Structure 1
Amino acid sequence: MDAVLERSAAPRAPYRYRWVALFVILAVEVMDLLDALVTNIAGPSIRAELGGSYSLVQWLGAAYTLAMAIGLLTGGRLGDIYGRRRLFLIGAAGFTLASLACALAQTPSQLIAARAVQGLFGAVMLPQGLGMIKQMFSPAEQAKAFGAFGPVLGLSSVAGPILAGWLVDADFFGAGWRMIFIINLPLGLFAVLGAIKFLPEFKSERAPRLDWLGVALAAVGAFLLLYPLVQGRELDWPVWCFALLAVGVIVFGLFAIYEGRRERRGLDPLVTPSLFRKRAFSGGLAVGLVFFAALIGTGLVFTFYLQIGLGYSPLKAGLTTLPQALGTVAGFVAAGVGLSERLGRKLLLIGTAVMMAGTLGFMLTVGLAGAAISPWRLSPALVLIGAGMGLAMAPFFNIVLAGVDDEETGSAAGALTSVQQLGGAFGLAMLGTIFFALVPGQVARHVDDSRAELRTVLTAAGVPADAQNAVALSLRDCLRDRTAEDDPDVTPPSCRNAPAQPELQAFAQDKVRAGFQDATIGTAGVSFLLLALAFGLSFLLPRRARPDAEAH
């Protein structure tokens, strides 16, 4: 018996091809990150070709992240049951085929459905990589392995928006935005072949049973919370939207109760309840939910501001995000030279504080520059936001997963990445909804505040003095209703008799731009509050990645 215990306690030898295997795992992380980023830049072009409302752009991201968030809980557990290498292969192959389906989509509903399928296969694929890293590398090497995510994902965040903008503008073979999905095909093929050759098979000694009711409760709860947030504004917030939100909270409460009872009965829960008694893990979920909501949601709003408010092309919008991406790389590199190990939680706090400073700088820049805004003026604030993101994310996964036992790895990896994606989905829904809710009122306010200027414009346009008040009200109502319209191809009734003089068109464009500017500042303020909440929640995390390090 003692010999058995000695063998079980003996350190596991690191896997021979672990660094090559890490490269394969990073390839699918890149594929996932590219797909999370590219639709933000390409979204307006996709909507222009396929039709539909602005909520389509939100759903392109939300369908992917929501499906992934739901599937990740199951994906991690499936790896425990059937083997992580096998599930990695299934996920990579399915993700690649779903990317092809996205590229061939002919309607908004087809594309949203294909994006959801992408997310589901991504959910099968991604947690296996995190689980295998925990098992392939020795504890001493795990920090370096997780640290490799930083520069690679940072470079992907640099390349993603620029690549998407370039591909849309270049219109290769007449494919336009479809090329952003076609580029996944060689990456997916590399991941599949690399997994066959270099990934080891890991499987739990006692394969757990899948908790199907837990899967259903988690999926229903997440959908009930997200759907009203995305569609509520377009539907003018009927009462049933708020009812769905309340029911969603109740369903998640039932999910937690059910999982606890399942564990007490000796059955395998979908998410191991004991994980939530670990300070690093439960605190990490709270931080990840809020942090990624701010990060992903703000990226979508920034795209709306650049392409719809300022009229930037997809390529110019992508290039405008370059300083933030470069800042992210710099933050990850700085963390990788030893800051993560030396500072631990302090680095996460420093990074979040830097992001908050960058967000304030962004708000001030947009407000002070006004119509004279340019990519160069935005650069300093964006560099700060990116650097803070790199510093904060570098120690995050290592701190949260370091205290997880091997038998909990699949459940922990699935839950952690699920909350990350769920936070992104909520950020897309919530911040996108706030942004479009603010725009019409801000546009109308700018028209009202510019009455003297408008009278001068009307006089120059030849509008009689006794008709100017009526024309001014008509223009105000038209601009408010047009910016409130979910489908920009639809002409509101108030705009059917709107004046069309060039002078008035220039005035109207200026006030719409100012309205988008103020809505961007207001939404960035919400993002700042989310980051402040993430900063406070970070104190729930342990000071170091490994609990024993806190004693030193």
Structure 2
Amino acid sequence: MPTTTRYRPRWAALAVLLTAEAMNLLDATIVQVAGPVIHDGLPGPAADIPWFSAAYTLPFAALLITGGRLGDVFGRAKTFKIGVTAFVLASLACAAAPEAALLIGARALQGAAAALIIPQTIGLIRALFDGAELAKALGSIGPVMGLSAVAGPLVGGLLTQALSWRAVFLVNVPLGLAVLLAARFLPEDKAATRPKLDLTGTLLVAAGAGLLVYPLISPGGTAWPLLAAGAALLVGFGFQQRRTAAPLVEPSLFAHRGFPAALAGSLLYFAVMTGLMLLVPMRLQLGEGVDVRTASLTLLPLSAGLAVSSWVAGSWLVPKFGSRVMFAGLGLLLAGILAVAGGVTPALALCGLGMGTFTVPFFTAALQRVRPHETGSAAGLLNAVQQLGGTLGVALFGGLYLSSGSATTAFGVAAGVTVAAAVAVVPLSSRRGR
């Protein structure tokens, strides 16, 4: 361990990093329940509701890998502090927004700030700990993420009901200030060799993803041309990555079919997972007229099922049955979606059980064939694709519900995407290595 960090209060520094992780996850999920109420308070088209979530996750996904590179270049602690400061200021702008367009713009700034924060946490934890303590520190991330994902919709609903939707964004202010005050415990750390920034690749992937998401939320006569343009830019990004000297993505990751399968599976699965957590509250509030607190409480069975099944899968199912557990998880998720589509809202618990049963073996299988020098790039790319999948799910399912006035079509598409995810991850169940 570097001597500069030996005598630092390392566990206090870890608490700072975990709080930042929690702050990001809370902000990504807390708006999903509050969206219809925000729409009532800031009049505008109903299509604004999915944008309240997508405007955050889209820049977060597109800038995540570049944010990690900025930490390598300028120092991870410095980049982390800049990101948290920007996040707090953007949160204040969200809370004070007088109209929907300004709120959506402030949400985009929040997502960009989060892309500076989150990639630094693993690097800083590695700078603070080694050996058994490193494993213990990294192991603490999972429970914090799970708790934050569970708490987000619940906190969003309760705050909105008791105070105002603006309080949903003000939660970040004391959390962010506490992180900044305690950030003095963080050591400075940067890459031994200064990497180059691939700004062209960043612009291509951001523009391509944006052109795919926009027509899904706001369909119109230009939807297909925009989708085609977005797809073309992402294909161009793929060719550009092969020719650039400092690619965002490690090209060797695609030498084996397993990792592309993991990316496809991640995109499809997280589209369903995140889209459902927006679609269900929208149907309850806009279609059935329930209040925001009731809508948030309705998601608790899903969160509880996810938490329980993640533990069972990690401690028993995966060690005994391996990656085949993924398909059991997707089967449970599919059954839950079909039941919820038929109006059986308690079946959300079945969805949660499926989600937890899938995610543990999926990430294990996705990274098991990755070589040590590819680990950072693989983890960053999986995280970015996960966020992009969530954005597409919010856009697709939210847009389908708002355009049709019925959730039935959206749930049907979610079921189809779940089946597609099962097909996509078949190569991950192979026992063959590289």
- Return the TM-score normalized by structure 1: 0.72
Which of 168, 180, 184 is matched with 1:196 structurally? 184
1:438 correspondence with 2:404: yes
Distance 1:344 1:40, change over 3 A: same
Q: Deviations over 1:93-115 (max 9, x none)?
A: 22122111111111111101100
Which of 144, 148, 159 is matched with 1:156 structurally? 148
Question: 2:28 — aligned with what?
Answer: 36
Which of 262, 276, 289 is matched with 1:284 structurally? 262
Question: 1:88 — aligned with what?
Answer: 80
1:71 correspondence with 2:59: no
Q: Deviations over 1:386-409 (max 9, x none)?
A: 122122223444543455456545
Matched letter for residue 384 of structure 1:
L
Question: 1:358 — aligned with what?
Answer: 336
Question: 1:248 — aligned with what?
Answer: 230
- Offset at 1:177? 0.5
Matched letter for residue 228 of structure 2:
A
> 1 CA distance for matches of 2:227 and 2:156?
34
- Offset at 1:539? 2.2
Question: 2:216 — aligned with what?
Answer: 229
> 1 CA distance for matches of 2:130 and 2:357?
24
Q: Deviations over 1:220-262 (max 9, x none)?
A: 1111111111111xxxx21x32111111111111111111011
- Offset at 1:190? 3.1
Which of 512, 517, 520 is matched with 2:407 structurally? 520
Question: 1:179 — aligned with what?
Answer: 167
SS in structure 2 at match of 1:270: coil
Question: Any stretches of 5+ residues in structure 1 without a counterpart?
Answer: 1-10, 367-376, 440-518
> 2 CA distance for matches of 1:43 and 1:212?
33
Whether the 8 Å CA contact 1:56–1:108 is kept in 2: the answer is: yes
Question: 1:536 — aligned with what?
Answer: 423
Which of 302, 305, 309 is matched with 1:327 structurally? 305
Question: 2:351 — aligned with what?
Answer: 385
1:126 correspondence with 2:154: no
Whether the 8 Å CA contact 2:205–2:234 is kept in 1: the answer is: yes
Whether the 8 Å CA contact 1:76–1:411 is kept in 2: the answer is: no
Question: 1:261 — aligned with what?
Answer: 243
> 2 CA distance for matches of 1:23 and 1:414?
22
> 2 CA distance for matches of 1:202 and 1:275?
26
Which of 289, 295, 300 is matched with 1:311 structurally? 289
- Offset at 1:78? 1.7
Whether the 8 Å CA contact 2:334–2:415 is kept in 1: the answer is: yes
Whether the 8 Å CA contact 2:335–2:350 is kept in 1: the answer is: yes
> 1 CA distance for matches of 2:340 and 2:11?
39
- Offset at 1:164? 1.2
Whether the 8 Å CA contact 2:127–2:187 is kept in 1: the answer is: no
- Offset at 1:133? 5.2
Which stretch shows the higher mean deviation, 534-543 or 295-304? Answer: 534-543
Question: Any stretches of 5+ residues in structure 2 without a counterpart?
Answer: none
- Offset at 1:311? 0.4
> 1 CA distance for matches of 2:138 and 2:321?
16
Whether the 8 Å CA contact 2:46–2:402 is kept in 1: the answer is: no
Distance 1:145 1:391, change over 3 A: farther
Q: Which has the larger radius of gyration?
A: 1
Whether the 8 Å CA contact 2:47–2:402 is kept in 1: the answer is: no
Whether the 8 Å CA contact 2:310–2:356 is kept in 1: the answer is: yes
Matched letter for residue 353 of structure 2:
A
1:346 correspondence with 2:324: yes
Distance 1:94 1:293, change over 3 A: same
> 2 CA distance for matches of 1:18 and 1:351?
37
- Offset at 1:191? 2.9
Distance 1:291 1:326, change over 3 A: same
Whether the 8 Å CA contact 2:267–2:389 is kept in 1: the answer is: yes
Distance 1:31 1:396, change over 3 A: farther
Whether the 8 Å CA contact 1:146–1:398 is kept in 2: the answer is: no
Distance 1:428 1:122, change over 3 A: same
SS in structure 2 at match of 1:541: helix
- Offset at 1:533? 1.4
Whether the 8 Å CA contact 2:324–2:429 is kept in 1: the answer is: no
Which of 371, 377, 383 is matched with 1:417 structurally? 383
Distance 1:316 1:99, change over 3 A: same
Matched letter for residue 68 of structure 1:
F
Question: 1:452 — aligned with what?
Answer: none
Whether the 8 Å CA contact 1:73–1:415 is kept in 2: the answer is: yes
Which stretch shows the higher mean deviation, 407-416 or 119-128? Answer: 407-416
Matched letter for residue 426 of structure 1:
L
- Return the TM-score normalized by structure 2: 0.90
SS in structure 1 at match of 2:425: helix
